[in-house]
Amino acid sequence: MKIGVIGGGQLGRMLALAGTPLGMNFAFLDPAPDACAAALGEHLRADYSDPDHLRQLADEVDLVTFEFESVPAETVAFLSQFVPVYPSAESLRIARDRWFEKSLFKDLGIPTPAFANVLDQADLDHAVIEIGLPAVLKTRTLGYDGKGQKVLRKPEDVVGAFAELGSVPCLLEGFVPFSGEVSLVAVRGRDGETRFYPLVHNTHVNGILELSVASSDHPLQALAEDYVGRVLEQLNYVGVLAFEFFEVDGGLKANEIAPRVHNSGHWTIEGAECSQFENHLRAVAGLPLGSTAKVGESAMLNFIGSVPAVDKVVAVADCHLHHYGKAFKAGRKVGHATLRSKDRATLEARIKDVEALIKG
């Protein structure tokens, strides 16, 4: 089976590493000459809206999937004429737009921070009165790793904020006094079978994920599964979906979903029976899903900007390096380490070991 992937970054790379042992081949559509997934499959180097290359991709592969959600809607629509596309165009349409996304959560009874659609500065001024400050103004689409966001703390911050974010459709979200950020990675097969990984506790720094720790018997696991299950069913979703929540007052408020394999699920490569990458491929290929059970106690640390010396990283006990083969650049995710330890105390010590390497 040949899988077409829109995007050829590290998520595509890890999909190929998981799918090759299943007998799958890969083609990546990515305009970047140095797309790091290209080492593991065919590289169609073209723009995401180039009809000739999209047609070529559709002709070559058995199905198409994505490694990022901001694929143009027209791309998905075009491909869908010729080849199955998972997750569906509708799932992508919702997930890539914060307004559609939050509105879906609301419709499904999933608690969210207060939010309002902001199409101009007047909308923003009105929304601030309604929601109050502090609040966060976010572009509805194309935001990632904290980009496309502005925190509004004082009335002066509101002035001109809409223009500052590019005068594009935005969402204003009320500030949530959260005690933690957690994500649930789920997978749903073509037949509707659904499985959930354990809740992961995430630490972000400057909007970029730094550390994910997989939980054991998290008291909010069942509630999170309930919320995520509602979304999966409503979208008739196929593939892996990650759902980020704020922990607030012992409950959960929905932040956002990613309709793809997700950074907070990278620990599953070593830390779960079947990784998010293999389970995504199993789901889109119509294969039975794999076990989402944990193996040991796991955490993931991102390498941002650069990967510490490889000999130092692999010398850390319980440590598994994932180097993305990308050029180092400040703020760029260029690798990660998974730690899989026999108990929580050992895991905590190992996290400190890797953190020390990152700090240099």
Q: Binding residues for its own copies, per CB under 8 A?
A: 13, 17, 20-23, 25, 39-41, 273, 282, 286-288, 290-291, 295-296, 307, 310-311, 314-315, 317-318, 320-323, 325, 335, 340
φ, ψ dihedrals at 227, nearest 5°: -60, -50
| 173 annotated binding-site participant | yes
Closest CB to its own copies among 217 and 311?
311
Count of CB atoms situated within 10 Å of the CB of 60: 14
Given a contact cutoff of 8 angstroms between Cβ atoms, the answer to whether 92 and 100 are in contact is no
Tokens 């921070």 belong to residue: 113
- Residue 176, annotated ligand binder? yes
Question: According to the annotation, is 144 in a ligand binding site?
Answer: yes
Q: Is 353 annotated as a binding residue?
A: no
Question: CA torsion sign, 154 to 159 to 162 to 164?
Answer: negative
Which residue type does 183 have?
A: S
SS3 (DSSP) at 87: coil
Q: Shortest distance, CB of residue 233 to its own copies, whole angstroms?
A: 23
Contacts of 255 (CB under 8 A, 6+ apart): 112, 113, 181, 244, 245, 246
Distances 168 to 96, 118, 122, 142, 165 between C-alpha atoms, Å: 14, 9, 13, 11, 7
Annotated binding residue at 145?
A: yes
* Residue 146 is assigned to a ligand binding site: yes
311 appears as a binding residue in the annotation: no
- Give the nearer residue to its own copies in terms of CB position, either 168 or 314: 314
What CA–CA distance (Å, rounded) separates 352 from 358?
10
Q: How far is the CB of 25 from its own copies (least distance, A)?
A: 6
Nearer to its own copies, 38 or 94 (CB): 38
Is 149 annotated as contributing to ligand binding? yes
Nearest CB to its own copies, comparing residues 144 and 328: 328
CB of residue 26 to its own copies, shortest distance in Å:
8
Min CB(306)–its own copies separation in Å: 12
Work out whether strand 42-44 and strand 25-29 pair parallel, antiparallel, or are unpaired.
Answer: parallel
68 in a known ligand binding site: no
Question: What's the CA gap between 235 and 123, in Å, rounded?
Answer: 29
Minimal distance in Å, beta carbon 321 to its own copies?
6
CA distances from 352 to 211, 300, 321, 355 (A): 11, 12, 16, 5
Residues 27, 100: Cα–Cα separation, whole Å: 30
207 is in an annotated binding site: no
Tokens of 299: 């955490």
| Shortest reach from residue 28's CB to its own copies, in Å | 13
d(CA 238, CA 190): 6
Is 266 assigned a ligand-binding role in the annotation?
Answer: no
> Between residues 138 and 320, which has the closer beta carbon with respect to its own copies?
320
> Distance between CA 124 and CA 150 in Å, rounded?
12
**Closest CB to its own copies among residues 212, 255:** 212
Closest contact distance (angstroms) between CB of 37 and its own copies is 10
Q: Between residues 153 and 342, which has the closer beta carbon with respect to its own copies?
A: 342
Q: How far apart are the first and last CA of the chain?
A: 43
Closer to its own copies at the Cβ: 26 or 162? 26
Residue 205 beta carbon to its own copies: minimum distance, rounded to whole angstroms: 24
Crossing angle (nearest 10°) for helices 51-60 and 73-80 = 40
Angle 217-213-246 from CA coordinates, rounded to 5°: 80
Q: Could you tell me which residues are annotated as the binding site for ATP?
A: 98, 138, 143-149, 173-176, 181, 204, 255-256
Q: Could you tell me which residues are annotated as the binding site?
A: 98, 138, 143-149, 173-176, 181, 204, 255-256
